[in-house]
Amino acid sequence: MRARPQPLTKAFPVSLARQLSLLLLSIGMLSSLAANGAYSDIIDSFELTRSSQFVVQGKTFDDIESSFGTRIQSSSGLYDFHRGIDIDGTQGDNILAPTGGLFWEYREFSGGGHTVILQHDLNNTISYNGRNYDHYYTYYMHLFDDGGGGVAGTDDVISGWTPQVTTVSAGDLIGKMGNSGTPPGGGSYADHLHLELRFGARSSLEFQLANPGTTQHGFDPHLNPMLLFTPYTYASSGPGVYHQNAALSNQANAGSDINFDITYTNDDMPLLNEVTVSLEEIGSGSIVKTHTLDLNQRIGFDASSTATLDTADTSKPYFSPVTPSFTASDYKNELVVPGSWTSGFGDSDHRVNVTLKDLWENSETLSVTVVPEPRTYAIISSACLLGLILVRRRFSQPLTQTDRS
């Protein structure tokens, strides 16, 4: 088990107003911690069962072409919350079970095409969103099915398998890569595997909303499938290691958007999960405001529907995904801290902290000082405002006899 980072606290005198704001902030943080507590249990369970067996034979993590989370969808060019990972390849590539499980079902979706579903046991029972779960599901989409035409397809691979009876082991052949299914905008997919991990429940949130009479879980079960795999060693530098990095891409001017480029030192490992942006008063260490974006738990996102999840809330810190270059392993993302969010704190007494966490809760923080409005501009602005006030007073005075002449 990994050592968890311990929270740091500071004691300092605060005003009543600040005490109230800190109380409200603490309530929000406690709510977040409750959710994170369950998520930590999930991490611990996957940590004991994660696999080094990649899911496409002959391919590596470098062939992941679209990661989990916010992205610009290649088929539409629109902002999209991707709830799986896409792995590049060619028709007929062997799809292998990354870990052992039970063959649950073979079905066809309009968007996902021919799909194999496996059920896997967790290492222990986990309480999540008010229920106890001891299993999760993996989905393998866009598979090739020859329809009995004589070419080996997924239908031939699983011929004779019995749903919810046949078991598979890690490394077993479970299907063939293809391009089945239809993108939302029409047309066809390129050959690839869309891999999903659904925790506890099979029913997606949109299915639950569209079918209220079915089993309801009340949450979107999709988690980042990278939880299944053993990552490289986490470290700040060196060969065979990875860490995520946030670099300021423009000057942190007060009243303007502050942009950060988020990249990976090892592009085989798209493991970013959580970003927390906080506005800190430097002298006291007081956190004035904070906002968290957690991809797996959808904290900071409106996950009440697919439509709202696919819409960025630009009033708070948000991800602005970089347009894909259509080459594998390009996971660069952009974090935007809106100028409206830092409004009123545009001086050198405050700074913006950005903390990144990966799926396994490794974390690192970048701090930047908010650059105040240039003093010359402030003087000019004050002079203009004073002039407007004097002019207004002049024309609001009642006319004298001299004025009427």
pLDDT in tens, 274-300: 999 999 999 999 999 999 999 999 999
Residue 364's DSSP bridge partners are 356
Residue with tokens 């946030």: 246
Using an 8 Å Cβ cutoff, are 75 and 189 in contact? yes
pLDDT, tens digit (0-9, with 9 covering 90-100), for 348-373: 788 899 999 999 999 989 888 877 64
Using an 8 Å Cβ cutoff, are 71 and 295 in contact? no
Residue 369 burial class via C-beta count within 10 angstroms: exposed 0-12, middle 13-18, buried 19 and up: middle
CA distance 76 to 73: 6
CA distance 93 to 79: 29
Tokens of 185: 């905008």
pLDDT score at 223:
95
Residue 286 burial class via C-beta count within 10 angstroms: exposed 0-12, middle 13-18, buried 19 and up: middle
CA distance 91 to 177: 5
Tokens of 274: 């959580």
For the beta carbon of residue 385, count every other beta carbon within 10 angstroms: 10
Of the candidates 357, 366, 353, 305, which has an alpha carbon nearest to the alpha carbon of residue 32?
357
Residue 229's DSSP bridge partners are 51
pTM equals: 0.81
Residue 237 burial class via C-beta count within 10 angstroms: exposed 0-12, middle 13-18, buried 19 and up: exposed
Residue ranges in 259-374 assigned as alpha helix (H): 306-309
pLDDT score at 62:
87
Q: What residue ranges define each of the domains in the chain, with the CATH number in brackets?
A: 50-230 (2.70.70.10), 240-369 (2.60.40.1930)
List, for the chain, all residue ranges whose pLDDT scores fall below the cut of 70: 1-37, 75, 149, 216, 254, 324-330, 346, 372-405
* Helix, strand, coil percent values for the chain (each to nearest 5): 20, 35, 45
Using an 8 Å Cβ cutoff, are 153 and 146 in contact? yes
Q: Position 48: which residue type?
A: L
CA distance 320 to 345: 23
pLDDT score at 83:
93
Residue 336's DSSP bridge partners are 259, 318
**8-state DSSP, 303:** -
Using an 8 Å Cβ cutoff, are 141 and 95 in contact? no
Residue 8 burial class via C-beta count within 10 angstroms: exposed 0-12, middle 13-18, buried 19 and up: exposed
pLDDT score at 401:
34
Residues 6+ apart with CB under 8 A from 387: none
